[in-house]
Each structure stands twice: as structure tokens, then as C-alpha cells.
Amino acid sequence: QVQLVESGGGEVQPGGSLRLSCAASGFTFRDYAMTWYRQAPGEERVPVATVSTTGRVTNYAEFVKGRFTISRDNVKNTGNLQMNSLKAEDTAVYYCGMAGSWGQGTRVTVSS
């Protein structure tokens, strides 16, 4: 069974940084792209960034481009989302999505 566990969330000030991690199990990790999603209070869940199976190709939502970096390690079966220059509007629960599933999410709060 697919299992995805996010970690690394927390509270930071505007302009700060966080690194989110996703630990995967229950499927062949290297066969699936990874997408980070987020859901802000009162809003729909939206994709933030995607990384291809090999890690060579990435795509970013316009609202995080230049600030976030997605990566993966196919040996450790993990993925990461490095978030820099955080803004208040980045406040959301962040989810790791792969193989038709996502984890429980990790909360990111950006405030003064």
C-alpha cells in the first residue's frame, strides 16, 4: 500500500526558509513523478511543483517559481521541497503526491 509521509513544516517569518521532506514506501518510487501540493485556509488544494521520475525535469507553479526547488533521491525513496523567500501567502498544508495518493500533510505557517 502506498504510504507518503511529509515532514519539515513549521512556523517561519516572511523571507525565511523551510525544507519539506517526503518519505515514500509501498510502491516502486522511481516509476512515479512526485508533485507537491498545498491547501491554504479556505482554498482548494493546488499543485506547487513536480519532479520527473529521474529528477531531471521540474515544473513549478508561477507563484513559487524562483523561490522553491523540488528534488528527489531515488536511492533513499525521498523527495524534498526547498522553500526560500517565504511569503505569508505560502501559508498552507503541504502534501506530497505520488502514485495516486498523498500523505497527511505538513503545515507551513508564514507570519510575523
Per-residue pLDDT reduced to its tens digit, 98-107:
999 999 999 9
- Of 53, 79, 83, nearest to 69 by C-alpha is 83
Per-residue pLDDT reduced to its tens digit, 82-92:
999 999 999 99
Chain centroid to CA 58: how far?
12
- Cell 498544508 locates to 93
Cα distance between residue 110 and residue 16, in whole Å:
8
Residue 28: pLDDT band (50, 70, 90) is very high
Query: Which residues on adjacent β-strands are paired with residue 82?
Result: 19, 69
Helices and strands (H, E) in the chain, number of each type: 0, 11
What per-residue confidence (pLDDT) applies to 24? 98
What per-residue confidence (pLDDT) applies to 54? 97
Average pLDDT, the chain: 97
CB contact set of 76 (below 8 Å; sequence gap of 6+): none
Per-residue pLDDT reduced to its tens digit, 46-73:
999 999 999 999 999 999 999 999 999 9
- Of 27, 84, 76, nearest to 55 by C-alpha is 76
10-12 vs 106-110, strand pairing mode? parallel
